[in-house]
Structure 1
């Protein structure tokens, strides 16, 4: 949209309760993200500790290195499709995820997918903040051994006082960095991306040397040596791989709205997501397989593995790498989206920065250390359950934008209380019904044992059910569109 028209649009809707500067369409001057910026974004987000734990967790669950790499690669190729589809309107119209959701769910109903997405992001923010805080805690212990006993037997919600202090401290560090704005995030990701890869490569060289080469590592056969044993682990694990990035497949417009064009964001994401995720996961798989050879068991938590270093300086340097890796993914993937989502609830009262603070508080209350208690909890429960919510949301948004609207949106009406997207009191009932159908189909297997196979395919089942039901409902019983009343002079 031309700058003049965009200024006119902002003037026309600036009084609306659905508008604030953080949710407004980006200007041409703000669209400065190139192919490299998008690739660097994904390299930084993929090269993170949860990715490592995802791949190493598959080894801990019994897969061999080939089975784990196949599962991870296939999952990321699949999730790239909805990622690119939802990215398109962000670049075309310069709007963030919660504003885009207004087209399908309604100007008020958009808060439903926004809050669901924000809740997941709060969990992820807490997980990464805890991982980063643990690295900081061990970093302090390596430099100042007395730090480990600081506070004595004081225990807060299952964490020692030093662990809680470093967790909160790292969380605050994330918030302060995001407060500097999106451009600071772009700059941080640009240099953090290669550093994280280098640090992981150093860890890989060290553990392979400890295992006396690749031969003993690749000789490990895993426990899932038959199809009957492999399939029950593979299916929910594949769903978990997709669920891992199902969050970003929704709110990717929060980033692509800053793209110079469709070519830049599509090419950057295609280069940045599947290849780097696979490469980094291979490193995690090899490292975890090597720990079986070296230590007799799979160590799936990289912080636990790094504690095997006896040299304090080497340990401190390695933990610094984890701190950078965790910061790079957390600020991009887990703070930008929920901040926009919470702002969408009441744009005139909740700014982007206020949304960031709300995310931080929720991340503490979730107590993420409990989600990381074991790999089955992390992969089969956390990832699969929320994929059953996010798959249906992605399906509805994609069906609405590409199938029903043919990529054409009324940008101005996305910010109006009364307009094309206000439906029934701001809610598209058909979208809500389609969401319930998808979530119900995806998660019913969690409570009905005979239908457990549906839960194993939670993202796929939810996506398919909501995609079809939304199109059918909108064709058969379309929601009424409220049109702004015009007053004519007599």
Structure 2
């Protein structure tokens, strides 16, 4: 039983499980969110780097398409934590890392998310400054940087419904303007006598390096995707993994790979046509009037739609998890925005592949640990009430699960040493080490109710038609959809 003190230290509205009545995002809405997330200006650099390394345009597009299908498949496994139990990423990490140990890996993800927020805001600010200098005669990117950051923080603070509405606006605009950019850049290449599909630079980049770099690109979302999937509409009582997660498939296996490959391809075409990876700068220099406005609107929408769902929410929730007593969701969003704007994102952008390699190493290891814990150790059963109890089974040794910590540090460290291949080392190594350490070192002295019960269905939720609900004073119970309709459940709309 939880006490009032426990409620203050581990429980806050925004990190409670979402029940089946609190999931407003439709299949189309979730796909729209992913189109918005996938359009990152930094992806242009990824495509151009491949072209500069001697890979053909078709090779770049196909490699990045396949890499994103791969990471999308991986995300399906971690997504189930959200669809089944309604849990956010940082709270679930209390299972493999402990109620105190969760903070180290969770904050590492939160800081990366904040840094990406800064990168995206900086690129959006450059576009806004282009509009301001062209039409208003006002040239000061830093002012736009601060203002754009504030607007995004406010939008995200209004919750998931506001984010879905932004995605519904942004997605079709992004696709239309991206197609226009492709034909514009192809036209520039033709005037120089270049065929974009036959172009080959004098480089020797391995397709494997390009493939793995793109895996690292999305290692952040791969581990904390429950932050979004816990808001996706799910049919109750669906034991089948495929049926339970069917609303996830279109977004992660179609919207993400196709959009990311398209954007990387445009970056590649820009490099072929002009030698500059950034098509924004290229077309901005040659456009005016409606064409210029359209281009810069793309940049702003792309950064905005990515930042809200992929960066601010994950970072905010890790901060809430760090100190639920003092930080609520809106405060967490504001703090995440401040941290992101102070991280000198222009320096990170200049060293993007190094950044991707090192953070991808440690985050991929977390992904392996989560997968081992959820599927191999607990078989999808989770003692959710104890995730919010300071004295429950997830206290382990002083609040730390050393199986998780050791597996993370060893797997992440080795993957970072071989950073060019970080994801394909970190994920499987983290999975294997965690499983071995749990079986040999932790479980003998720390019984887990899910396992001791013989993997009872009383530790499931959505797949048996029920939801975990906090009923006050640190207490949780499962409720059916009909019971949710009659219960009085207080909760802010994240």
* TM-score interval (norm. to shorter): 0.7 to 0.9
Q: Given that residues 106 and 428 in structure 1 are in contact (C-alpha distance below 8 angstroms), is that contact kept between their aligned partners in structure 2?
A: yes
Matched, 1:67 2:59: yes
Look up the match of 1:347. Answer: 324
CA apart distance, 1:207: 2.0
Look up the match of 1:369. Answer: 346
Aligned partner of 2:427 among 455, 460, 463: 463
Q: Deviation per CA, 1:369-417, whole angstroms, max 9, x where unpaired? A: 11222xxx212x0111101110111111110110010100111111000
Q: CA–CA distance in 1 between the matches of 2:221 and 2:272?
A: 36
Q: Taking structure 1 as reference, are residues 472 and 170 closer, same or farther at Cα in structure 2, changes over 3 Å only?
A: same
Look up the match of 1:329. Answer: 306
CA apart distance, 1:11: 10
CA apart distance, 1:221: 1.8
Matched, 1:17 2:9: yes
Q: Given that residues 419 and 482 in structure 1 are in contact (C-alpha distance below 8 angstroms), is that contact kept between their aligned partners in structure 2?
A: no
Q: Taking structure 1 as reference, are residues 265 and 176 closer, same or farther at Cα in structure 2, changes over 3 Å only?
A: farther
CA apart distance, 1:459: 1.4
Q: Deviation per CA, 1:345-369, whole angstroms, max 9, x where unpaired? A: 1111111111112211211221001
Look up the match of 2:116. Answer: 124
Matched, 1:259 2:232: yes
Q: Taking structure 1 as reference, are residues 437 and 292 closer, same or farther at Cα in structure 2, changes over 3 Å only?
A: closer
CA apart distance, 1:271: 2.0
Matched, 1:230 2:231: no
**Equivalent residues in 2 for 1:74-85 (5 A)?**
74-85=66-77
**Equivalent residues in 2 for 1:112-261 (5 A)?**
112-144=104-136, 146-148=137-139, 162-212=140-190, 216-224=195-203, 229-231=204-206, 234-261=207-234
Matched, 1:473 2:437: yes
Q: Taking structure 1 as reference, are residues 281 and 392 closer, same or farther at Cα in structure 2, changes over 3 Å only?
A: closer
Q: Given that residues 247 and 390 in structure 1 are in contact (C-alpha distance below 8 angstroms), is that contact kept between their aligned partners in structure 2?
A: yes
Question: Could you say what secondary structure the match of 1:57 adopts?
Answer: helix
Look up the match of 2:46. Answer: 54
Q: Given that residues 13 and 19 in structure 1 are in contact (C-alpha distance below 8 angstroms), is that contact kept between their aligned partners in structure 2?
A: no
Q: Given that residues 73 and 252 in structure 2 are in contact (C-alpha distance below 8 angstroms), is that contact kept between their aligned partners in structure 1?
A: no
Q: CA–CA distance in 2 between the matches of 1:345 and 1:288?
A: 38
- My pick for the range that moved more, 71-80 or 120-129, is 71-80
Q: Given that residues 47 and 265 in structure 2 are in contact (C-alpha distance below 8 angstroms), is that contact kept between their aligned partners in structure 1?
A: no
- My pick for the range that moved more, 472-481 or 408-417, is 472-481
Q: Given that residues 182 and 269 in structure 2 are in contact (C-alpha distance below 8 angstroms), is that contact kept between their aligned partners in structure 1?
A: no
Give structure 1 stretches of 5+ with no counterpart: 1-8, 149-161, 445-453, 485-490
CA apart distance, 1:264: 7.3
**Equivalent residues in 2 for 1:376-395 (5 A)?**
377-379=351-353, 381-395=354-368
Q: CA–CA distance in 2 between the matches of 1:293 and 1:253?
A: 38
Question: Could you say what secondary structure the match of 2:15 adopts?
Answer: coil
Q: Taking structure 1 as reference, are residues 287 and 458 closer, same or farther at Cα in structure 2, changes over 3 Å only?
A: closer
CA apart distance, 1:280: 3.3
Q: CA–CA distance in 1 between the matches of 2:34 and 2:90?
A: 21
Matched, 1:36 2:36: no
Q: Given that residues 422 and 482 in structure 1 are in contact (C-alpha distance below 8 angstroms), is that contact kept between their aligned partners in structure 2?
A: no
Q: Taking structure 1 as reference, are residues 264 and 47 closer, same or farther at Cα in structure 2, changes over 3 Å only?
A: farther
Q: Taking structure 1 as reference, are residues 36 and 67 closer, same or farther at Cα in structure 2, changes over 3 Å only?
A: same
Look up the match of 1:448. Answer: none
Q: CA–CA distance in 1 between the matches of 2:391 and 2:415?
A: 34
CA apart distance, 1:476: 0.9
Q: Given that residues 69 and 285 in structure 1 are in contact (C-alpha distance below 8 angstroms), is that contact kept between their aligned partners in structure 2?
A: yes
Look up the match of 1:317. Answer: 294
CA apart distance, 1:276: 3.5
Q: Taking structure 1 as reference, are residues 122 and 328 closer, same or farther at Cα in structure 2, changes over 3 Å only?
A: same
Look up the match of 2:369. Answer: 396
Q: Given that residues 59 and 285 in structure 1 are in contact (C-alpha distance below 8 angstroms), is that contact kept between their aligned partners in structure 2?
A: no
**Equivalent residues in 2 for 1:399-418 (5 A)?**
399-418=372-391
**Equivalent residues in 2 for 1:431-446 (5 A)?**
431-444=404-417
Q: CA–CA distance in 2 between the matches of 1:113 and 1:289?
A: 34
Question: Could you say what secondary structure the match of 1:216 adopts?
Answer: coil
Q: Given that residues 130 and 369 in structure 1 are in contact (C-alpha distance below 8 angstroms), is that contact kept between their aligned partners in structure 2?
A: yes
Q: CA–CA distance in 2 between the matches of 1:465 and 1:483?
A: 23
